Structure 1
Amino acid sequence: MTTLSDAPYTSTPESDLERRKRLRTVVAASLLGTTVEWYDFFLYATAASLVFNQLFFPDQSSFVGTMLAFATFAVGFVVRPIGGVVFGHIGDRIGRKKTLALTMFIMGIATALMGVLPTAAQVGVIAPVLLLLLRVLQGFALGGEWAGAVLLAVEHSPAKRRGIFGSIPQIGLALGLALGTGVFAALQTIFDDAQFLTYGWRIAFLLSLILVFVGFVVRLKVEETPAFQEVHDLEKRSSAPLKDVFRGRVRRGSILGLLSRWGEGAAFNTWGVFAITYATKNLEFAKIPVLLVVTVAATIMAVLLPFSGLLVDRYGAKRIYLIGIGAYGLAVFPAFALFGTENLVLFGVAMVLVFGVVHALFYGAQGTLYASLYPTEIRYTGLSVVYQFSGIYASGITPMILTALIAAGGGTPWLACGYLVATSVVSVVATALIRKQDLYL
């Protein structure tokens, strides 16, 4: 099994100027690409909370319509593992660069088409069916995005800076969410409610075409990673990457990785997705201030993620992830207690702390930690398996679970909080069980 050496492999000597230029291009391609991809994916999440439940499921009660909108949101996570396996195999066989260009193209087309979909009032049941099909396409494309973006950064990075480089794709996620909620907030400010529901929301989706074009061009300029090039040149590529992810020494790391991500996936989709619905429906806050709060929290996260990467380079990815995911579990009940004050300022304070600060701590460590679980020849597939398969139970169904638990609790959030704390406990235990001999970086 191949590991990354301290000095990245290159077939020809590379000057300092060439190295700096290569790393700048890598940073731009990884950051811009993931920002665009996550903007597209989480734009749907925001729309599910504020638009789709009205335009595509209008004959349902508020509760049922919201649940159905979140169900189509969850479908994207169910499809992501399929995309992860397909693009992971492609990425391990033909390279990271080409695979990432393809995933961006597919995601951009699916998102733009959402912007021109007819509503249920116009075409009836066909509308939610078309919405579901495009969501499937989104999930399929994103299934191969995250792992490839992480590897693009980590496999190009100097050995002593893998933490900071591994945090770069995570910054893209935070910026993508901030951009999506910020655009929605701006459009709702520009248009009145009727205009926004008629055509204003569509602008956010159509903007994806411009963003994808820029990201696509940048990604075509990046070089293939030295680690993959070494495997390719030495003809050490795996013939069955998916099988190898669950064989021998690697299998233990895969299982622990799948469990360790439970808390992170639940946390992100609680603060970044569910909180929007909870604040506007249960707490009856106005939509625009809530979107601005999420935008600010996500922006703070983006700013702090590089500091998490620096901590990873100093103390190790496992330790930083473990501390952060434990802090998330401790913060759940206090956060919802602040939500319960029904004070917008305190809601904002809670979101900044749990989403902007705590989430940044462990999320910045995640990419480097999971990349370390696999040798080069199966790393794209392995990373995709851990992140995308766990996304089904850790991420996609979280808003539905929390909505159902709050309803079961008579409108109080404490059952939902108990569930979130349990996900933290699972993640803490699984992360603690990862041993040094389970790591390849």
Structure 2
Amino acid sequence: MTSTNKAAKAASRKPPPGALKAYVASLTGTSLEYYDFAIYSVASALVFPKIFFPSNDEFVGLLLSFSAFAVGYLARPIGGIIFGRLGDKVGRKYVLVFTLVLIGVATILIGALPDYSVIGIWAPIILVLLRLGQGIGVGGEWGGAVLLSSEFGDPKKRGFWSSAAQIGPPAGNLMANGVLAVLAASLSTEAFLSWGWRVAFLASALLVVFGLIIRLKLEETPVFKAIAAHGDQPKAPIKEVFTKQPRALISAALSRVCPDVLYALFTVFVAVYATKELGMTTGDVLAAILIGSAFQLFLIPAAGALTDRFNRRMVYGIAAAATAAWIPVFFLIIQGRSELMLIIGVVVGLALHAFMYGPQAAYITEQFPARLRYAGSSLAYTLAGVIGGAVAPLIFTALYAASGSWYLIAGYLLLASIVTIVGLALGRNPQPEEDLRLLHNDGAQESHA
């Protein structure tokens, strides 16, 4: 191999300028925001039914709490529309700063909210409104965070570079469950329900400040700069997505259903089932989720990178099919109330989620042309959340209450897997040429100038 070829090969392995900084910023920002979101998820299962939605019927209180949980998902399309439009018109950077602030303020206020015994019906009403703010922020956050890392990275390695934002949920979940586990272990049940859970919410103030410092130092992405240089920003990106990209929108949205439902099972409903049905402790459940989330930190980028080498839709689809097969196995192996079996079951479940979630960001964004990526990706992500993660805990609880068994829940995951596989069949394979052409033309214009 000549020295020229060696130099070219070394250059191809070197990350593009700004890519690593953008990767860290995307990962850090979504980790902080999903920390906020994750502590609400855990609290909605273990705390809020007791202090914000008191009821003589335990399942009624749980359903009310999960309904408030669902509001965050139902609000996401609002954020997707508002921030998706802005992201394609004015750029990615400052939209991401605003979403971080919105989620952080809402979470801090939840931590300071008096409970039902103090202000009565106003407690759950205000909680739902703050949850609405969280959801709107997350609806605008995801699309921008994905584009931040992927548009700085190599278009031919979009699976890996896009995975930065995907590491955010397990990282945030890991931090949230870790904080809650420490608090639950060090405090009495009465103290934890009275004030201990609030510490995790209020602590997000420090995390938000840290995230803001990182994001404010970033530049706009090279791809959006190239679009702006050509004056090619869409005037009505939301309208264009619905009228010109309907198949892409449907494919991208359906691809999210199985991962969303699966994640809700292993990070929210499993806490209810293991403690109420099997008599296991909250500590057992939190430990299993923590270990599963720790594995995801490595599996998600690995899965994204894997789909840069092999067909992205094939890897994604295999994981969706394996999910349908694993759920019955999971419920069977935990019937013995073994903490080890619970850990193994959750780790495998979240590993299957990682092999869908890791390449998901790349898959969704590459369904849309660059000039409509923020709007298209945000709409697909948030609309799918409404039919996936938003209603999943409610459906799990209703199916379990109606049947007293896990069989219907396994059937629900089978249906979700089929929906995702159909979505993948409708999609298109990666097309990095569009980004490369944009960046090449922009660079040629700068050289000519």
TM-score by length of 1: 0.93
Given the alignment of the two structures, is residue 342 of structure 1 paired with residue 342 of structure 2, yes or no? no
Identity of aligned residues (%): 37
Aligned residue number for residue 323 of structure 1 = 318
Within the candidate set 300, 309, 314, 1:305 is matched to 300
Q: Displacement, 1:121?
A: 0.6
Residue-by-residue CA offset, 1:337-371 (whole Å, 9 max, x unaligned):
1232322221111101111x211111101000001
Superposed counterparts of 1:308-387, under 5 Å: 308-355=303-350, 357-387=351-381
Q: Distance in 2 between matches of 1:438 and 1:326?
A: 25
Q: Distance in 2 between matches of 1:403 and 1:59?
A: 16
Within the candidate set 145, 168, 176, 1:172 is matched to 168
Aligned residue number for residue 9 of structure 1 = none
The residue identity in structure 2 corresponding to 1:302 is L
4+ residue segments displaced more than 3 Å: 18-21, 435-441
Q: 1:92 to 1:326 in 2, by over 3 A?
A: same
Q: Distance in 2 between matches of 1:294 and 1:162?
A: 28
Q: 1:214 to 1:21 in 2, by over 3 A?
A: farther
Q: Distance in 1 between matches of 2:15 and 2:217?
A: 14
The 8 Å contact of residues 51 and 197 in structure 1, kept in 2 or not, is answered as yes
Q: Distance in 2 between matches of 1:311 and 1:19?
A: 17
| 1:297 partner SS | helix
Given the alignment of the two structures, is residue 77 of structure 1 paired with residue 73 of structure 2, yes or no? yes
Aligned residue pair count: 423
Within the candidate set 405, 417, 423, 2:416 is matched to 423
Aligned residue number for residue 93 of structure 1 = 89
The residue identity in structure 1 corresponding to 2:125 is V
Within the candidate set 224, 230, 233, 2:229 is matched to 233
Q: Distance in 2 between matches of 1:180 and 1:432?
A: 36
Aligned residue number for residue 433 of structure 1 = 426
Residue-by-residue CA offset, 1:198-229 (whole Å, 9 max, x unaligned):
11100000110000100111011111111111
Q: Distance in 2 between matches of 1:358 and 1:428?
A: 14
Q: Displacement, 1:22?
A: 1.5
Q: Distance in 1 between matches of 2:32 and 2:361?
A: 18
Q: Distance in 1 between matches of 2:16 and 2:231?
A: 28
The residue identity in structure 1 corresponding to 2:329 is P
The residue identity in structure 2 corresponding to 1:83 is G
Q: Displacement, 1:316?
A: 3.3
Q: Distance in 1 between matches of 2:414 and 2:50?
A: 32
Q: Displacement, 1:302?
A: 1.2
The 8 Å contact of residues 33 and 215 in structure 1, kept in 2 or not, is answered as yes
Gaps of 5+ in 2: 1-10, 436-449
Gaps of 5+ in 1: 1-14
CA RMSD in angstroms, aligned pairs only? 1.7
Q: Displacement, 1:436?
A: 4.1
Within the candidate set 48, 54, 60, 1:52 is matched to 48
The residue identity in structure 2 corresponding to 1:390 is A
The residue identity in structure 2 corresponding to 1:427 is T
Q: Distance in 2 between matches of 1:429 and 1:376?
A: 24
Aligned residue number for residue 6 of structure 1 = none
